Amino acid sequence: MVILQVSNLKKHFPVTSGVFLRRTGWVYALDGVSFTVNKGETLGIVGESGCGKTTLGRCIMGLYAPSDGQVMIQDQDVSRLTAKQRKHLALNLQMIFQDPFESLNPRQTVKDILEEKYIIHGKKTKNLTSEIARLMETVGLLPEMLSKFPHEFSGGQRQRIGVARAISLEPEIIVCDEPVSALDVSVQSKILNLLLELQRTMGLTYVFISHDLSVVKHVSDRIAVMYLGKIVEMADARDIYKNGQHPYTQALLSSIPLPDPASNRDRIILKGEVPSVEHPPSGCRFNTRCVHVQPICRQTEPELRKNATDPNHVTACHFFI
Amino acid sequence: MDAQTILDVRDLKIDFHTEMGVTRAVDQVDFQLKKGRILGIAGESGCGKSVTALSIMRLLPKPVSRIVQGRIMFDGVNMVTLPINELHRIRGKKIAMIFQEPMTALNPVHGIGKQIMEVYRLHFPDFSPREMTTAAVRLLEKVGISDPHQVMKKYPHQLSGGMRQRVMIAMSLACEPQILIADEPTTALDVTVQAQILALIKDLQRTSGMSVILITHDLGVIAENCDDVVVMYAGRIAEKAPTTTLFKHPLHPYTKGLLTSIPSLAREPKTILPTIKGAVPSLLNMPEGCRFASRCPRVENICRKKVPQERRMDQNHTVACHLADA
C-alpha cells in the first residue's frame, strides 16, 4: 500500500543580492523528484552535500512549499493543507533531526518536551505521566530521567529523546534526517537498532536521509541515490550495492572506506567536486565528473529508466543497459 | 629509541583543569611512530586522540591543560621541555599539522597565496618574493590544484571544502616536514572528496617518505590508509598493532566491540547490530581499574581493581587488558 507519494517535486530557492534583494538566480535544490513509499518500508535517501536530500525531507514534512509538483500523504497534498488539516497530519507524520543538541529546547525538561505533543493535540489524559514513562522505557531511557534537562544527557540519550518525541503520538511515517551522523560508532549502532526495533513493533514507515551509505544500506528496504537535486538511481537496498548501475552510485560505493585492510577492490576516485546547484551542468548533471562521459551526456538529460530485468531498479544514465 | 623510530611518546599524562575539577584526559599514553609509516590513532569522541596530537606540537590550550608527565622524543630532543624559541624551529617545519575544519584553520582575511608564503617567510627568510611565489605555485600543483595562480589570489571562503583542505595540506608540506599530523582531515568532507584527499595524503607520504599520524574516528579510513593503529579509549591506549593484525585478530574487547558494531556493507540489511552496552564514563568520574570494565562483556573482579598494563602479545601487538589472550 502506497502511503507517501512524491511526484515531480521541485524546490527552487531564489538567490538575491544588493540592497533591494534583487533576484540574481535560482538554486535548484530539488529538480523533479518522484517516488513512492509503501507502508512499513524504509526508503533510504543518500547523497553528498548539496544534493537536495534535506530539502526533500523538509518538503515532505510541509516545512517548505514546493515550487512545483506535490507530496501526497493519504490522498492529501501536504502543501495545500489548511492549518487545521496540517495539524491533524502531524499525528501521522513526524521527524527525527540530525542534531540532538539543537533540536531539543534547553529550557524544557524531558517531561515538558514529551508532554507538549499531547497537549497540542488535545490528548492530555489523566494517565499521561505513566504513558510518558512507558515511552521513555520504549526508547531505552529510565523514567526517573524525566525531570532532567537536555544538557544532562549524552548525545545518544538526547537522540533517544528525539525518537521518543517522534513516536509519542504513534505516527505512521517518520522522516529521519541524518539521525545518527552526529553520534559515535558505538552509540550509532544502538540508535539504528532502536529505529529498526520500533519499525517492527509499530509498523512505522521511514524516509531515512543520510550521507553515510553503510548506514543507509543497513536500515533501508529501497534506496534512492541523489545528485544535484535529482534521483540518479533507485533500487532495492541489496541490489544497489551489488548491482549499482549509475557511474555516480558506483563511485560513491567505492569511496566508502571499508573496515577491512584485506579488501583489494578497485577504487573509482572521482575528479573534482559537486558543481554548484546554482549553475548545474547541462545535460546529465554528473557529466563533469563522470569517467564514462560521452558527447550526448552534455546535451541531453537522461530520464530515469527501468532495468530490463528488474522493474524496481531505475537509473538515469544514457549508457545503462 | 632505535633508528627506525622518528617519534617516541612515553608515558604521557595530560591534565585538564576544569570548573568541576581536574581531569586526566590522557593517561599513560605510550607509542612510537616509525619512519615512513602511517600511524592511525582511532577512538570515539573524548578518548584523548586529538589531545595527544596537539600535545606533540605543544598546542594544548593554556592554562587549562598541562602535560604532567611523560616524554615526547623527536630528533633527540624532548618536545615536552623544549624552550619555546627552539620549538618554533620544529613546529611547522619538521612537524606539521592539518586540522578537521579547513575553514577555521585558514585565515579568512588573507589570500591563499599570502598564507602559503607566510610559511616561507617564517622558516626561509632569505627567499626572495619571486622564489616564494614559485615555491607556493609548485606546492599547489603538488596537491592537485590545476589552476594554482588563480587559487593563490583567492580567499578561503571562495574555495570548496576539498580545495581548502588541499591548500592546508600544501601549507603543511611547504617545509617538507618529517612528520605530518592529520587530525580528522576528512571528517568535514563528502565521501567522494574524502577519497581524493586520503589518496593525496597517501601519495605524498609515499613520494616524500615522511611519517604520518592520522587521527580519525572512522575505522574504515584506518583500514585503508594506515600501517599501524593505536586504539584509544577514555584517555588510555587499549590496543596497538599493525593494521592487518588489528583487524584480523583484535584482542581488546573494546576493539572487538567497535569492529562488530559498524554497519558494514557486507552485513545483511535490517538486522540488529551488535552493540557495546553502556556509555563512556565521564572523565571527571573515572572508575578505578580498567576504564572499559563497566561496558566489558568479559569483566572480572580484577578489572575493577587494577589498571591493566600494556602486555605484548606478539612482536608488534600490545593490549591493555587483564584477560586478553593471544
**CB contact (8 A) between residue B279 and residue A267:** no
* B262 contacts in chain A (CB < 8 Å): 185, 189, 214, 259
- B18 has pLDDT over 90: no
Q: What is the ipTM of this complex?
A: 0.85
**Hey, where are the domains in chain A?**
221-321
Q: A227 has which bridge partners?
A: A230
**CB contact (8 A) between residue A219 and residue B269:** yes
Picking from B265, B267, B271, B272 by the largest number of A CB atoms within 10 A of its own CB, the best residue to mutate is: B265
Q: Which residue of A has its CA nearest to B224?
A: A261
Question: What are the start-end ranges of the H helices in chain B?
Answer: 49-56, 84-90, 102-105, 112-123, 129-142, 148-153, 161-173, 191-208, 219-225, 243-248, 253-261, 301-305
Using the Cβ of A187 and the Cβ atoms of chain B, whether some distance falls under 8 Å is answered with yes
Give the pLDDT of residue B75. Answer: 87
- To the nearest whole Å, the CA of A86 is away from the closest chain B CA by 32
Indicate if the alpha-carbon torsion angle A256, A258, A264, A265 is positive or negative. negative
- A315 has pLDDT over 70: yes
Q: Which of A205, A182, A14, A213 is nearest to A100 (CA)?
A: A182
Nearest Cβ partner of B262 from A213, A259, A261?
A: A259
Q: Is B176 exposed, middle or buried (0-12, 13-18, 19+ CB in 10 A)?
A: exposed
Question: Would you tell me which residues 95-134 of chain B have a C-beta closer than 8 angstroms to some C-beta of chain A?
Answer: none
Q: pLDDT, tens digit, for every residue of A43-58?
A: 999 998 889 999 999 9
Using the Cβ of B274 and the Cβ atoms of chain A, whether some distance falls under 8 Å is answered with yes
To the nearest whole number, what is the mean pLDDT of chain B?
92
Taking the C-alpha atoms of residue B174 and residue B164, their distance in angstroms, rounded to an integer, is 15
Q: Cβ atoms within 10 A of the Cβ of A254, count?
A: 18
Using the Cβ of B20 and the Cβ atoms of chain A, whether some distance falls under 8 Å is answered with no
- Spatial contact of A320 and A245, defined as CB atoms under 8 Å apart: yes
Q: pLDDT, tens digit, for every residue of B198-217?
A: 999 999 999 999 999 999 99
Give the pLDDT of residue A321. Answer: 61
Nearest Cβ partner of A217 from B244, B269, B279?
A: B269
Give the pLDDT of residue B265. Answer: 80
Taking the C-alpha atoms of residue A245 and residue A248, their distance in angstroms, rounded to an integer, is 8
Radius of gyration of chain A (CA): 21
- To the nearest whole Å, the CA of A69 is away from the closest chain B CA by 29
**CB contact (8 A) between residue B195 and residue A196:** no
Q: pLDDT, tens digit, for every residue of B245-297?
A: 999 999 999 999 999 998 888 788 889 999 998 888 888 888 899 999 999 99
Using the Cβ of B165 and the Cβ atoms of chain A, whether some distance falls under 8 Å is answered with no
* Gap between the terminal Cα atoms of chain B: 27
- pLDDT band at B1, cuts 50/70/90? low
- To the nearest whole Å, the CA of A196 is away from the closest chain B CA by 7
**CB contact (8 A) between residue B223 and residue A274:** no
Using the Cβ of B267 and the Cβ atoms of chain A, whether some distance falls under 8 Å is answered with yes
Q: Cβ atoms within 10 A of the Cβ of A291, count?
A: 11
Nearest Cβ partner of B265 from A156, A184, A241?
A: A241
Taking the C-alpha atoms of residue A164 and residue A113, their distance in angstroms, rounded to an integer, is 10
Helix axes B129-142, B112-123, angle to 10 degrees: 120
- To the nearest whole Å, the CA of A88 is away from the closest chain B CA by 31
- pLDDT band at B326, cuts 50/70/90? low
**CB contact (8 A) between residue A221 and residue B270:** yes
Q: What pTM did the predictor assign? A: 0.89
Count contacts between A and B (CB, < 8 Å): 132
Taking the C-alpha atoms of residue B78 and residue B94, their distance in angstroms, rounded to an integer, is 14
Q: pLDDT, tens digit, for every residue of A271-302?
A: 888 888 888 899 999 999 998 999 999 999 99
Nearest Cβ partner of B190 from A211, A238, A241?
A: A211
**CB contact (8 A) between residue A274 and residue B258:** no
Q: Which residue of B has its CA nearest to A237?
A: B269
**CB contact (8 A) between residue B191 and residue A252:** yes
Taking the C-alpha atoms of residue B163 and residue B260, their distance in angstroms, rounded to an integer, is 34
Picking from A151, A214, A225, A260 by the largest number of B CB atoms within 10 A of its own CB, the best residue to mutate is: A260
Using the Cβ of A151 and the Cβ atoms of chain B, whether some distance falls under 8 Å is answered with no
- A215 has pLDDT over 90: yes
- pLDDT band at A115, cuts 50/70/90? very high
User: In the block, which residue shows the cell 612482536?
Assistant: B315
Name A134's Cβ contacts closer than 8 Å, sequence gap at least 6: none
Question: Would you tell me which residues 220-249 of chain B have a C-beta closer than 8 angstroms to some C-beta of chain A?
Answer: 220-225, 243-244, 247-248
Q: pLDDT, tens digit, for every residue of A148-158?
A: 999 999 888 99
Q: Which of A110, A93, A105, A246 is nearest to A170 (CA)?
A: A93
What is the dihedral angle through the alpha carbons of B184, B187, B193, B196, rounded to the nearest 10 degrees?
20
